[in-house]
A and B are shown apart, each in its own frame.
Chain A
């Protein structure tokens, strides 16, 4: 008997019964020869089949009391709150507007139902990459389990709190046990495998702490300091919008501005300042101003 036929018959046997059914009971209910008569080999094949069914969306649950198995019902449909046509259509549109990198998984709408109102030729609104580590990071976050991984050559142990897509990248935001603080990790920079650990109850954390830091110069373990810079009028509107009104120390009559920004990683901030070419000039602290000049002189 083919594997496909065996799995289909297994589903039929498990859904036909209204009560949990033992492993031996299942064997008896299937055509002869479906499973091996050797107990151990039967157990192994059955466990693999169960895992396979779970992966495709049919969770087979074990009931301690009866030592039997049953298929968990899908509350979505049975509670009568199935998706209305407009909701299904909206989800279809969203799914077609956003191109999420394929990972070999099929279209979830096979399970939810097709909608006649959408076309796959729709122009995408954005394309979202996925990463091999993302799934584990997500599992850990939803199940509140600890994770361990290598990052920038260091072993990190994290209590994951959120998975965030920002500036075209996926980040894992979590409490770093070693640093005793919230840290952000770029998922594509995680080195090697993410190891799933124990379940860890999360203490209530200040939501503000979980906001992803968008400025790369505020990362890093060095203590922060304030950098003051002059921004010419051409760039002033953009930079004020980007860093926020609070960063503005002075608005000059020619439209240029003096900006003050908190910096942990000076090299990263220098890089940012250089994207404005001669439109930005570092004023203070003196060591940063001198470093910028030395950096520029090194090209001469």
Chain B
């Protein structure tokens, strides 16, 4: 942060003062890094502003005492600034959201300290944030999530039966879990897949079967270091997979919010021209069919163009022309 306004500096100073007093002093570099306070600005504020602060009649014995020597700061006679600050509703909200998110991940036996902390904060703030905010990170599949968490903790290899959305098929593989995360309502595992010989993403609600193996893995540091943000996981780098350009009417703009894209430009008539990476043909097939025939395929590799769209529609339609599947089959009532 380059330039701080008076409010930014006041917020920081009010946090810095009791912190420094409680520790009996702190180094300038420590304060600067912990409170995100540019060193030069910090020195000016301590020496030229805080030094002049105090109470009536502002004689030396009524002023804050700031002493800086060899980069070490000591502050005394600053009892007026020892009252703890109230958390703003937004800060409370952020803490509650973080706490509730993590609660969903943790097992009930692990929740103690976090729950107590959240309850104390909520009680002290007198705000109802805790009661009115609800956080659901993913479709609950507690069983799979628990097994994955345990496997990650033990570095134990898992054998799974998995429905691959991209290939629209079920297959078996062995995986070593590197991280678990939630995004847009689903839990995922990023894991080394021994079948694909690389890192792959698995959505937990698509895991059909899971069993522990007797094998253990040593986490590969290079893989661990290669992890980017969650957003990056779902946005393939340009050029690594084919892409298509679609012309979307304004009412189909949700697609831009929903899926990773390289570029989105609004045309004069209000339509959106958007380039999407296509990680699998099945994904594109679903999208095109959902959007309808009015969405124009502006640019696409031959294998993913108009013919592709027509053939997918045709194949589903064929199912409707065949005999209704429920007839002629012996069924078991649920």
Task: List residues of A whose CB falls within 8 A of some B CB.
Answer: 2-5, 7-9, 11-13, 15-16, 28-31, 52, 55-59, 71-77, 79, 81-84, 86-91, 93-95, 97-100, 103, 105-108, 110-114, 123-128, 135, 138-139, 141-142, 161-169, 188, 212, 230, 232, 234-235, 237-238, 241-242, 245, 248-254, 256-258, 271, 274-275, 277-279, 281, 283, 289, 292-293, 295-300
Contacts and interface: CB of A to CB of B under 8 A. Distances in A.
Nearest to A253: B330
Nearest to B306: A299
B84 A90 contact: no
A138 B93 CA distance: 9
B132 A277 contact: no
Interface stretch (B11-19, B210-218, B235-243, B266-274): B11-19
Given A89-B113, A234-B169, A296-B320, 18 more contacts: A9-B53, A56-B10, A74-B85, A74-B86, A76-B84, A79-B124, A94-B102, A103-B90, A107-B36, A110-B19, A162-B133, A164-B136, A258-B326, A274-B316, A281-B324, A296-B314, A299-B310, A300-B317
Contacts of B53: 5, 8-9, 12
B156 interface: no
12 contacts: A4-B45, A7-B6, A12-B80, A71-B83, A86-B113, A125-B137, A212-B136, A258-B331, A277-B168, A277-B286, A299-B313, A300-B310
How many interface residues does chain B have, given as a range?
A: 35 or more
Contacts of B123: 81
B194 interface: no
A94 B129 CA distance: 17
A57 B230 CA distance: 33
A237 B182 CA distance: 21
Contacts of B68: none
Contacts of A29: 55-56
B160 interface: no
Residue among A90, A253, A271 with most chain B CB within 10 A:
A90
B293 to A, nearest CB: 5
A29 to B, nearest CB: 4
A83 B120 contact: yes
A129 B302 CA distance: 37
Interface string B42-58: 00010001101111101
A295 B317 CA distance: 10
B262 interface: no
B81 interface: yes
Contacts of A107: 36
Contacts of B303: none
A8 B132 contact: no
Contact of A94 (B88, B98, B227, B324): B98
B185 A91 contact: no
A234 B168 CA distance: 9
Given A8-B53, A142-B132, A161-B132, A108 B184 contact: no
Given A108-B95, A274-B290, A277-B316, A242 B117 contact: no
A72 B95 CA distance: 22
B120 A87 contact: yes
B332 A251 contact: yes
Given A77-B84, A295-B292, A277 B135 contact: no
Contact of A56 (B7, B36, B289, B316): B7
A298 B293 contact: yes
Interface string B114-137: 101110110111111100111111
Given A126-B181, A277-B316, A300-B313, A98 B97 contact: yes
Contacts of B126: 75
Contacts of A72: 86
A278 B278 CA distance: 20
Nearest to B314: A300
A84 B112 CA distance: 12
A89 B19 CA distance: 17
A234 B162 CA distance: 11
B195 interface: no
Residue among A12, A30, A82 with most chain B CB within 10 A:
A12
Contacts of A135: 89-90, 93
Contacts of A161: 132
B136 A274 contact: no
Contacts of B182: 125-126
Interface in B301-334: 309-310, 312-320, 324-326, 329-334
